[in-house]
Amino acid sequence: SEDEVRVVRSAKDRALEAFTNHVTNIRNAMKIRDFNKILAEFDELAKKFQKDKTVTADGVPRFYIRLLCDLQDFIAKSLADKPAFKKLSASNGRALNRMKLNLRKTIPTYKPLMEEYRKNPIVSDDDASDDDDDESSSSSSSDSDSDSDSDDDAKPVATKKKKAVVSDSSSDSDSDEDSDAEEGSDESNEWASSSESDASEDSEDEDPFAELKGRSRWLKKTTEEVKVKELINPHTGEVETKEERNERQRKDKDKVREARRAQVGTGGGPGGASSSKTILPTANLTPSLIDNKVKEIVASRGRRGTDSRFILRQLEGISRLAIPFGPRVEVPILMHVATAQFDLVRTMDDFMTEPSWNSTHSYLKRIAATLDDTTQNWVLGSLTAEEIGDVTTVGTGGTSKMKAAAGAGPNSGAVDAVAADETLTNPHTGEVETKEDRAERLRLEAEEKMTPEELRTIRVAGSLSLFMNRLDEEYTKSLQRISPHTVDYVIRLRDEAKLVELLAMVQRYFERVGASAQAAEMAQLRCEHLYYRHDTIAEQVDRAAKFYATYGDSGLLHPASFNEVSSDAKPDFSMTHPGAAMGKPAIDDTTVVNVDSQALMMDLCSVVYQYGTDRGKTRVMLCHIYHHALHDRFIEARDLLLMSHLQDTIPGAGDVSTMILFNRMMVTLGLAAFRSGRIWDAHQCLSDVCSGRVRELLAQGVNTGRFSDKTPEQEKAEKRRQIPYHQHINHDLLEACHLISAMLLEVPNMAAASVDESDGSSRRTRVISRTFRKNHDIYDRQVFTGPPEQTRDYVMMAAKALMKGDWKRCANLLTSLNVWPLVPGTTAAQQIKDMLVEKIKLEGLRTYLFAFSSQYDSLSLSQLCGMFELNRTEVHSVVSKMMINREIFASWDQPTETIVLRKIEPTSLQLLALQFAEKAAYLVEANERLLDAKSGSYGYKEDYWKGDNRSGGFQGRGGFRSGGRGGGRGRGRGEYGRGRGEGRGRGEGRGRGRGDYGGRGRGDYGGRGRGDYGGRGRGEGRGRGRGEYGGRGEGRGSGRGRGNRY
């Protein structure tokens, strides 16, 4: 339009304006530490600087050199500040590192100019001054209020420094108080005047009015001299310096703080109470006065500004004052003290410290000792809802007076009614009495009307059983949080004996009063503290607890008591310490009561079985089975598991901690079977848990991998479920037992499979342990196998030796494992080694016959006995079983004691029949998978061999999952599952028969067909009835195919 004024600027002016804008943005970003913006703006500035040659025609602008120097210092300072660097976001940190690299590439080009600028940033050579004048004039014409970043002369640098001094002094003056504020303002004025004089004297070319704008630029500036005010000490009236005033104020604050601490330490605080000795007047102290004071303190709980520790100290003091008045007054206060102790734990992840826990334990033990006294037969009662509501309203004050004011007549005012003092009169004597006297009189009158049963009832607020559960929970949380490798953990374990003793006292009280549910709850807690202890360990723990209770900490004994002094001669105290006369203190064996742990567990479990909840019964049953298995009572543990049907009901328990306990029980049962030489049973029990995430399934560790998809809440919940360290089952021992049992089963199976493949037979042998096969394949694929280091390496090397027939080397490798001393028991380690040697001999014999029977026409019994160091009975038994099971085709020649081997080749018709049966079996298996996937029931969705485990959490391929594979429970594919095995019919597993292991039919191998293996017969398996591992059994036999032959 005509009103617009078109400004024509040169290309150099436009480029300079763009440059100054970028510089301004960079400096603004430096103030807020936005390295992403610094990097972007610097890249744009560098590109435009290289593109626009008009600016650099007369030389590099001074503002660009100044920016490079400032950026170099800023980036170096930011990288040196490590705490601030860690707080940067990921993108900001990457931008900072990228900016450092960009400067490293850019600085060498302008290094001489930057060095010249750093030597004298204010005054430079004439050429640079000329360039600065030109650039500053151009920049001032384009942007009138640009700062020192866009100017090229050195003047703003000095001005900026002086401004910083002024701002610092002004900020100091703002932070001072009273007279220091005036002194600070005077000092700031002096600094301002001095900075202005310095600025005017620095250079004649500088404009003294550069900082002024508008009318103030042309007004005359008048400087007024302000006299500095002297600092006067208000206590002495003398003049003092600033440092002396600060020191005096600091000492005054310390005195006030110490006075407050002294007030709190003596009981002073809200309510005007003092120490425990003076909380209440001891002269005329009555139970009613104590009760009113307790109600007043309890009513202040939870209010804003109330200190929980202060309330606790007050209640503890009152509890000591209440001891002379008997349990009816003391026990309710102790219940409030226990509640106040639990109030100190703010969040779910916090736990009680050891002093707080021991204090709470002592208070609850005083309550339990009172209730356990059979001479008095005290009983706890509960307060009514109205009485509890009265407690919360105590301390509000003025309630009765306000009611009186509300009921005042029309002639009397409400103010008069409130202000009037209430006069109390004793109706029996007519004398005036106080509120405290009336309360005590009413209490005594109420007690006179009570029956003996009511007098023995102590009415309290709270539940003793809940307090015991909370105390047990806090103890477990403390063990989870304390590092197990420290002395603190060992010291903390001493409190377990005290906790179990307290639980026993409370259980006896509940049994006396007929509270069966609470008694069962206490019995359950005792079971969970006793089930994991072996008798040998429990005896040592009880002896140590007895020693600590009698003599205290052994580390505090005098060193002289450990010296040995002859008991025959009288000790010479001039030569020996008197403390050595009695020797080291010891516990007399006669004072230690040997507890039958089996009978004790049976008594506790019986109480829970009869009166406990469903969850309590399940947990106690698992603890009972665990205890049997730990003491090598495998038969009792197995029968108890099968009769309880826990393997069927545990998936629906919905309690993760109970599922973890079930996994621990199954693992311990497998270890018991291994120790007793039941290799097959041990593998069935261990395969479920040991094939996957052992630490997670046993709650002995948390998976903290990079690719974990758990939320923080799930991780916290998993940490809260962890088992204390002293209850852990050793992972190396568990892995050794699982792999060794799998090796003893798989090596003969693999040897038989290799012979079938070499003969061209199409007989399929089932995979017993996929985990062992996987580890064995990995070991075989290794190019170089060094000496064994881990337990897995020992077992794999032993398996290779056993497959070659070197059973002695296999036995040496397995018996040399350092995990066997971890098995509890004095002779347990040696018994396991002897058992392993015998099992390796037998399985070595079977492997030898599988692998090399095709190379012989006959074998001598004496030769086999010499090769494997077995007696004739054992060799004869092993070979006869293999003949019966059609594993080898041979017969005995009794006169010569030789084994005559026969080679049987199938006919063409038999080969065709086998191929047809194989294809039919494949078709049946495919149909079953399709049906299971369509119906939504357990299919074959999880193939652990392929590494696919979709369930996750505690519902994956674990010991408690319904229908798991391998020794599983339900319809899963176990060792007796739906897979195909040696005699593919419905034999060897699928039966409804009530044979060796149960079902609905009858007969050992019976079925719908007849013959040794054929038809749809049922074999040894456990079908839908209860089998060796119960429930719906280990699966359904070996499929629906055919046996070895008809």
Residue 624: which residues within 8 A CB-CB, separation 6 or more?
527, 531, 601, 602, 605, 640
Q: What is the mean pLDDT of residues 33-45?
A: 90
Position 704 pLDDT exceeds 60: yes
pLDDT at 225 over 60: no
pLDDT > 50? residue 614: yes
DSSP state of 953: T
Calculate mean pLDDT across residues 223-236. 61
At residue 220, the pLDDT reads 56
Report the C-alpha gap between 1012 and 989 in whole angstroms: 14
Q: What is the 3-state secondary structure (H, E, C) of 154-215?
A: CHHHHHHHHHHHHHHHHHHHHHCCCHHHHHHHHHHHHHHHHHHHHHHHHCCCCCCCCCCCHH
Instruction: List the end-to-end C-alpha distance of the chain, in Å, as a whole number.
Output: 110
Residue 499 has pLDDT above 60, yes or no: yes
Sign (positive or negative) of CA dihedral 756, 761, 763, 767: positive
- CA gap 336, 394 in Å, rounded: 15
User: What gap in Å lies between CA 294 and CA 285, rounded to an integer?
Assistant: 13
Q: Which two tokens stand for residue 226?
A: 């302000």
CA–CA distance from 49 to each of 42, 60, 111, 147, 659 (Å)? 10, 10, 17, 20, 70
Nearest residue to 195 (alpha-carbon basis) of 157, 163, 171, 173: 163
- Answer whether 975's CB lies under 8 Å from 1034's CB: yes
Phi, psi of 457 (to 5 degrees): -95, 125
Q: Is residue 370 scored above 50 in pLDDT?
A: yes
Q: Would you state the pLDDT for residue 134?
A: 41
φ, ψ for residue 432, nearest 5 deg: -75, 140
Q: What is the average per-residue pLDDT within 414-442?
A: 70
For residue 650, the 8-state DSSP code is G
Q: Do residues 357 and 495 lie in contact, with contact meaning Cβ atoms separated by under 8 Å?
A: yes
Tell me the chain's radius of gyration from C-alpha atoms: 45
Count of residues for the chain?
1046
pLDDT confidence of residue 16: 81
DSSP H helices, 301-434, are 308-321, 327-343, 354-371, 385-393, 399-406, 414-419
- Per DSSP, the three-state class of 780 is helix
Q: Which sign does the torsion angle of CA 412, 414, 419, 425 carry?
A: positive
Instruction: Give the span between the Cα atoms of 287 and 293, in whole angstroms.
Output: 10
- pLDDT single digits (tens) 946-964: 333 333 333 333 333 333 3
Are 315 and 333 spatial neighbours (Cβ–Cβ below 8 Å)?
yes
What is the DSSP-derived secondary structure letter of residue 812? H
CA dist., res. 1038 & res. 215, Å (int): 104
Count CB-CB contacts under 10 A for residue 123: 11
pLDDT exceeds cutoff 90 at 156: no
Burial 930-954 (b: 16+ CB within 10 A, else e): eebeeeeebbbebebeeeebeeeeb
Question: What pLDDT, on the 0 to 100 scale, is given for residue 341?
Answer: 93
545-574 mean pLDDT: 69
CB-based contacts of 391, cutoff 8 Å, min separation 6 = 295, 298, 299, 383, 461
**Residue (of 902, 362, 374, 957) closest to 687 by Cα position:** 957
Angle between helix 354-371 and helix 327-343 axes, rounded to 10 deg:
150
- Distance of alpha carbon 891 from its chain centroid, rounded? 61
Mode of pairing for the β-strands spanning 898-901 and 890-893? antiparallel
Question: Is residue 825 within 8 Å of residue 536, measured between CB atoms?
Answer: yes
Segments in 88-178 forming alpha helices (H):
90-106, 111-119, 126-142, 155-175
Please compute the mean of the pLDDT values over residues 450-459 and round it to a whole number. 89
Q: Angle at CA 1007, nearest 5°, toward 1001 and 1013?
A: 140
Tokens describing residue 12:
């150099």
User: Contact at 8 Å (CB) between 12 and 55?
Assistant: yes
The two three-digit tokens of residue 178, written as one number? 């009273």
Torsion of CA 4, 9, 11, 17, to 10 degrees: -90
> Nearest Cα to 182, choosing from 224, 231, 225?
231
Q: So what's the pLDDT on residue 215?
A: 54
Residue 624's pLDDT band (boundaries 50, 70, 90)? very high
Alpha-carbon span 631 to 675, nearest angstrom: 10
Is residue 606 scored above 60 in pLDDT? yes
Within 8 A by CB and 6+ apart from 865, the residues are 871, 872, 875
Residue type, 223: T
| Average pLDDT for 689-717 | 82
Grade residue 230 by pLDDT with cuts at 50, 70 and 90: low
**Cβ atoms of 458 and 378 closer than 8 Å:** yes
pLDDT in the model for residue 484: 92
Long-range contacts of 369-376 (CB under 8 A, 24+ apart): 369/505, 370/327, 370/330, 370/331, 371/505, 371/506, 371/509, 372/505, 372/508, 372/509, 374/512, 376/327, 376/456
With a cut of 50, say whether residue 981 has pLDDT above it. Answer: no
Are 933 and 983 a contacting pair, CB within 8 Å? Answer: no
Q: Report the pLDDT averaged over residues 1019-1041.
A: 38
Q: Name 777's Cβ contacts closer than 8 Å, sequence gap at least 6.
A: none
**Which residues of 881-957 form beta strands (DSSP E)?**
890-893, 898-901
- pLDDT tens-digit map of 93-143: 889 988 988 888 888 888 888 888 888 775 444 444 444 444 433 333 334
Give the pLDDT of residue 183: 40
Least confident of 17-21, 53-57, 617-621, 815-819: 53-57
Angle at 417 between CA 413 and CA 420, to 5 degrees: 135
pLDDT for 417 beyond 70: no
Examine the pLDDT at 982 and tell me if it is beyond 70.
no
**How far is residue 593's CA from residue 596's CA, in Å, rounded to a whole number?**
10
d(CA 221, CA 764): 108
What is the spatial distance between Cα 966 and Cα 1035, in angstroms, rounded to a whole number? Answer: 9
| pLDDT surpasses 70 at 966 | no
Place of tokens 């006294």: 373
Instruction: Place 757 in a pLDDT band, splitting at 50, 70 and 90.
Output: low
Rounded CA separation 106/43 (Å): 11
Question: How do residues 886-901 score in pLDDT, each as one tens digit?
Answer: 888 888 988 888 999 8
- Angstrom distances, CA of residue 781 to CA of 755, 776, 777, 798, 948: 21, 9, 6, 16, 22
Mean pLDDT of the chain: 74
Determine the Cα–Cα distance for residues 303 and 312; give it in Å rounded to an integer: 14
pLDDT digits (tens, 9 = 90+) for 239-295: 778 778 888 888 877 777 666 555 444 444 433 333 344 567 677 788 888 988 898
